[in-house]
A = this chain, B = another copy of it.
Amino acid sequence: MRLSTATVSLSGDLVGKLHACARAGFDGVELFEPDLVVAEESPEEIRALAERLGLRLELYQPLRDIEGVDPGTLADNLRRAEAKFALMRRLGIGTVLVCSNVATATTGDPIVARDQLRELARLAGKYDVRIAYEALAWGRHIDDYRQAWRLVQAVDEENLGVCLDSFHILSRGHDPAAIQDIPADRIFFVQLADAPALTMDVLSWSRHHRLFPGEGSFDLPQFLAHVLRAGYTGPLSLEVFNDVFRQTDTDRTAQHALRSLIDLQERTARLLDPPTAGTAPVAPEAFTFAEIRAENTEPAENLLQQLGFRYRGQHRSRPVRLWAAGQARIILNEQDARGQTATLAALGLDLPDVGAARARAGLLRAPLVFRRVHEGEDVLHGVRAPDGSEVFLCPPSGSEDPPWIGEFTHGSPPTASTITAIDHVNLVQPWEDIAEATLFHRSLLGLEVDSSAQVAGPSGLVTSQVMTDPGHAVRLVLNVAPFGARPGSLAQHIALRTDDIISYVGQNAIDTLPVPGNYYEDLAARFGLRPGFVDELRSLGLMYDRSGGGEFLHFYTPTVGSVFFEVVQRIGGYDGYGAPNAPVRLAAQNRSLLEGRHG
């Protein structure tokens, strides 16, 4: 099917938007009228440019507040519409979006609306224009696609059909099943938008908070399945009013938008009977490694040594070192890192089918990572996530060392370790990228949003979104820094798992992030813990959480560069991340920062 986006979904000027859509791989666009009005290019120039770029101008939009009005207003509306039909001919656009009247409707009489839409359709017919009539969620009298379809049937003009917009239908909780009752040749256009679950007025929700499919909470595969079962074969077009995407880089947003449509088509295909699925996301089974990059990785290696990691050696062809403890492997990379302090640069994930995951990455046009390979070395296949971190797709090695460890030499052999694995990884996302990151991990790896929390820090609220595979083997925590926060003001971290944190901390001399006494007093009051247990936690610098039947014990290390470590023990099926303790950590890290600045 042809893939399209409304120009309003992107930032920039019209010419820039068209170029970005073509580069991203769209087949066409909906031309949002205000983008044309402010452009210096003539309609003829826009038409010729779109033609050269291979983009179809699928739709002109919107015409508003036409039907259900008094005769004087109708005459004025028809004059206004006719000017736009003439303009559409110059643009070479054959379909116009007409939204149900929200403002000037003076009557809900369906006969009046029918007669006036018929007059509009006949006028449009003179210009070979088709009208796609859409029920806005906040239309004055027509606010349901089923009403719009009945009205279109009543008018009975062949150049009048419906436009189906997932937002207007799903935001109101209308059942999309009746889409299948509309003949395919009367569905003139389909607009797709997702949205987060918000309880607010639907107009503001629609104008500011729409998302690309797969980034919100609407069931768009189900919606699109109804559309496809109806037999619709026209363009699938994104119409996403979003305050953030109006600001983000045009090319990047266009690529991200296209990825959402590709993924939606794949998800929908698997719902059809018979399913016509292409590739599916390949869910990871474990963290293979995490990689820290810095000009000098010794401060990070110092922490790893304290944590009981073993130095497993230096890579034979790169300035890269490996430390390991159990299945937790940390790669320290000094390549191309001049002037950089430690950052969390890459993750390796065990995937049951690397070939399928690579095919999926190709389909989703995920940017590939290049790494030079010497004769005899394993090829690492990686993609770049929206936050710039790299994700490597690795074959599973189970409880064995992966074969590439043989490329590291001059290290120590492995020993038994109290640290068993990487439990989770926290990655900081710029505030403008969280939707794109959510889609990326969801569409490529099948990770789903498991929970979301807001954590108060001394410099603002941090939003923390957990994404995991169905088995919770790979847990990513995406932290969004407050608007306007200094880049790097929030650190990233790798959380390591142990089964006995109390004896582990007792046996290793580890610098832990200091925890204030007030925390332990509150802990005792909140959970009614035995005093002896609280004293033990306090003396070891451990933090505690309890939820459902499970318990969580953990501590943090100091930060090097913008990376720190956490060690966690999960007891009794605890499935969270100690979120109630995050403000304590943020405050302590802020104190360390200030001391560093003053010291």
Contacts and interface: CB of A to CB of B under 8 A. Distances in A.
Interface of A: 11-13, 33-34, 36-43, 76, 79-80, 83-84, 87, 198-201, 204, 243-244, 246-247, 431-432, 456, 458-461, 482-485, 514, 516-519, 521-522, 524-526, 528, 583-584, 586-588, 590-591
Given A79-B528, A83-B524, A587-B13, A38 B432 contact: no
Contacts of A432: 484
Contacts of A528: 76, 79-80
A110 to B, nearest CB: 28
Contact of A87 (B83, B521, B586): B521
B483 A247 contact: yes
Closest 3 CB pairs of A and B: A83-B525, A38-B587, A200-B200
Given A432-B484, A482-B243, A591-B40, A525 B200 contact: no
Given A38-B519, A40-B516, A13 B458 contact: yes
A482 B242 CA distance: 12
Contact of A483 (B483, B517, B584): B483
Nearest to A584: B38
B518 A42 contact: yes
Nearest to A75: B528
Given A83-B521, A204-B199, A247 B40 contact: no
A243 B461 contact: yes
A590 B17 CA distance: 14
B584 A37 contact: yes
Given A36-B518, A246-B461, 17 more contacts: A13-B587, A37-B516, A37-B584, A39-B516, A39-B518, A39-B587, A41-B518, A43-B518, A79-B525, A80-B526, A83-B524, A199-B200, A200-B200, A200-B201, A243-B461, A247-B460, A247-B482
Contacts of A244: 483
Contacts of A586: 38
Pick the most buried of A198, A199, A485, A590: most chain B CB atoms within 10 A of its CB: A199
Contacts of A461: 243, 246
Contacts of A204: 199
Contacts of A36: 518
A541 to B, nearest CB: 13
Contacts of A431: 483-484
Nearest to A525: B83
B201 A11 contact: no
A482 B39 CA distance: 21
B199 A84 contact: no
13 contacts: A37-B584, A38-B584, A39-B516, A80-B528, A83-B521, A83-B524, A199-B200, A243-B460, A243-B482, A244-B483, A247-B484, A483-B483, A483-B484
B246 A482 contact: yes
A243 B201 CA distance: 20
Nearest to A81: B525
Contacts of A583: 34, 37-38
Nearest to A42: B517
A514 B460 CA distance: 42
A199 B12 CA distance: 30
Contacts of A484: 247, 431-432, 483-484
Contacts of A83: 521, 524-525
A572 B199 CA distance: 42
A316 to B, nearest CB: 44
Contacts of A247: 459-460, 482-485
Nearest to A520: B37
A69 B456 CA distance: 29
A485 B460 CA distance: 19
A525 B80 contact: yes
Given A37-B518, A38-B519, A518-B39, A246 B87 contact: no
Nearest to A16: B458
A125 to B, nearest CB: 19
A380 B201 CA distance: 48
Nearest to A12: B458
A546 to B, nearest CB: 13
A367 to B, nearest CB: 23
A372 to B, nearest CB: 36
Nearest to A247: B460
Nearest to A519: B37
A286 B472 CA distance: 66
A582 to B, nearest CB: 10
